[in-house]
Amino acid sequence: MRGLGDRQQFAATVAKGLGAGINHIETAAAYGESETYLGPLLKSFNRGEINLTSKVCPTENPEQFIQGLDRSLQRLQVDYLACFAIHGINTPQHWQWVQQLWPVIDKAQQQGKFKHLGFSTHGSLPLVQEVIASGKFAFVNLHYYWFNQHLAPAIASAHQRDMGIFIISPADKGGQLYTPPRTLQNLCHPFTPLGLTYRFLLSDSRITTLSIGPAIPEELDQPLSLGDRLEPLSEQEQAILENLRHHQHQALGTAACHQCYQCLPCPEEINIPEILRLRNLAVAFDMENFGQYRYQMLENAGHWFPGRKGDRCTDCGDCLPRCPHNLAIPDLLRDTHQRLRGKSRRRLWQD
């Protein structure tokens, strides 16, 4: 999902992961050449030992959708997937489309094309909760990290239904933690921000696996060193995470956004809570680069990163009485825009 690099680097990364005991690979039809590169590589490994997940974006047309699954199987050179996911149930319209897909999905499962059905999502909490509550899925793949716990209720719901829970790219989407700012490094000492993020997730027994998304073999080192550390957080780890919370509270003062989402909807479709989350991280932990990376995707990545930027605010005031913390939302949006605006960027892939 983060760009494949050259084929040799891709092969080296896969070989290192599988050689070290990783037994789950997740890809998607939309991840460039990923499936095509993986196909021949998987042949040299014992298929029974690798759980393969791939994903296909929802479409309005059932035929087109199932042809997408067939093409994934061909590219991967396999006759079935352990896990097949609908890639990005991000909007109510996607969920509506999926209602038309059930007959072809059920048939493909009966034909043995996949064992378990799941979905990935960048959607709102109510939408994710609705899809989970449908009872149609065996697993979900979502964004949940120490630095972004908005979907915590969805983790609880999925766990109640005994669903598999996959976390999308904790290192990159969880805060660009391969290259953390000095302030954050110091606050996490003697651990690393990435190591703490992995431990936060691995120690949560509800979470099934982490889709770590390494681009180069070296990015496997830290997850491999922590992969079996499933025990509860130590007192020291808990103390450092508590200190991060305290530091954030001190640094933001009364301008902290508490991520309650009560300010929405905004008539200008500004993604207020996400923009102010990025501000929280930039102000408290100097995570400006991560903030810019995410902020610049607004208005450029469609339903993968919905909503508009802070400079669209017209000062209409609609959101103000809804904020339980009385935040000066328009001022904070303008401040964030100044901090995080920059050259617009697109995703590496589009649906």
- The contact set with ligand SF4 (CB under 6 A) reads 257-263, 266-268, 270, 272-273, 276, 313-319, 322-323, 325, 327, 329-330, 333
User: Can you tell me the distance from the alpha carbon of 58 to that of 60, in angstroms, rounded to the nearest whole number?
Assistant: 7
Work out how close the CB of 284 gets to ligand SF4 at its nearest, in angstroms, rounded to a whole number: 14
Q: C-beta of 273: minimal distance to ligand SF4 in Å?
A: 4
What are the residues whose beta carbons fall under 8 Å from the beta carbon of 14, sequence distance 6 or more? 25, 38, 41
User: Considering beta carbons, is residue 98 or 266 the nearer one to ligand SF4?
Assistant: 266
Cβ of residue 258: shortest distance to ligand SF4, in angstroms?
4
* Distant-in-sequence, close-in-space partners of 124: CB < 8 Å, separation ≥ 6: none
**CB closer to ligand SF4 out of 112 and 317:** 317
Least Å distance between CB 263 and ligand SF4? 3
Kindly tell me which of 240 and 266 has the beta carbon lying closer to ligand SF4.
266
Smaller CB distance to ligand SF4: residue 22 or 263? 263
The residues with which 24 forms a beta bridge, in sequence order, are 51
Min separation Cβ 341 and ligand SF4, Å:
16
Cα–Cα distance, 179 to 45 (Å, whole number): 33
CB of 15 to ligand SF4, least distance (A): 44
- Provide CB contacts within 8 A for 333, sequence distance 6+: 270, 272, 275, 276, 310, 311, 313
40 versus 321: smaller Cβ distance to ligand SF4:
321
Two structure tokens written together for 243: 């200190």
**Strand boundaries in the chain, DSSP class E:** 24-26, 51-56, 81-87, 114-120, 139-142, 164-168, 209-211
Q: Which is nearer to ligand SF4, 266 or 287 (CB)?
A: 266
Please name the residue that has the structure tokens 């903030």.
Answer: 291
Which H helix or E strand runs over 106? helix 92-110
Q: Cβ distance 165 to 158 under 8 Å? A: yes
